[in-house]
Amino acid sequence: NAGVMQNPRHLVRRRGQEARLRCSPMKGHSHVYWYRQLPEEGLKFMVYLQKENIIDESGMPKERFSAEFPKEGPSILRIQQVVRGDSAAYFCASSTGTGSYEQYFGPGTRLTVT
Amino acid sequence: EDQVTQSPEALRLQEGESSSLNCSYTVSGLRGLFWYRQDPGKGPEFLFTLYSAGEEKEKERLKATLTKKESFLHITAPKPEDSATYLCAVLPAGYSTLTFGKGTMLLVSP
């Protein structure tokens, strides 16, 4: 039973470019969460999605960041016009969402902005 | 504002030297408390969920306990392979997303 999959594992972008991070949840999971981890700051919640719906985006920066989870295919976190401060590890987690609150994490995408 | 504080920030143990990690939390109501283990360069690995005060869960050398204000992760006779960062997270009542502490970095020396 495959776990949460994220790609790419490492992504290098120049300032001003776009970054697209992909996440495929565990089999049977329909809820996806995105977190950002900066050194010394811990994991910070960004956005919570179900298929075709954004449930909670309270942790998402208002500009340049967007997320989707289409009916078919992986969830995508998109960062437009990246800046050096966007350099971080981005983790995706998934859950069944039905009575169980346990979230299972992927290996993360490490974004470096040069 | 919901808060999660973990202590100590770092802990160095000798192999076989038992100890405990602390997670104190401030939430208006607790739906669940979660413990994860994170190795360098990897994603957090789920360990335990605790739902109510007095609850305990065990897995190999680890035991997690919960009170109304804090949780402890007890490590009995640790081995070098237990070295990792241990993360605590809370799920407040009425919410669907986790609030994480900054973690405790554990190093177990042979």
- pLDDT for A109 equals 98
- pLDDT for B10 equals 97
pLDDT tens figures, A18-47: 999 999 999 989 999 999 999 778 899 999
Chain A contacts in chain B segment 38-97 (CB below 8 A): 42-46, 49, 87, 89, 91, 96-97
Question: What does the alpha-carbon distance between residue A61 and residue A47 come to, in Å, rounded to a whole number?
Answer: 10
Interface mutation vs chain B, best among A43, A46, A100, most B CBs within 10 Å: A43
Q: Which residues have C-beta within 8 Å of that of residue A30, sequence separation ≥ 6?
A: A50, A51, A96, A97
A1 pLDDT exceeds 60? no
A13 three-class SS: strand
Alpha helices in chain A (DSSP H): none
Read off the pLDDT band of B2 (50, 70, 90).
low
- pLDDT for A39 equals 79
Rounded to 5 degrees, φ, ψ at B81 are -70, -5
pLDDT tens figures, A53-86: 999 999 999 999 999 999 999 999 999 999 999 9
Nearest by CB to residue A91, choosing from B43, B99, B101, is: B43
pLDDT tens figures, B29-76: 899 999 999 999 999 999 999 999 999 999 999 999 999 999 999 999
Question: What does the alpha-carbon distance between residue A66 and residue A47 come to, in Å, rounded to a whole number?
Answer: 9
- pLDDT for A41 equals 82
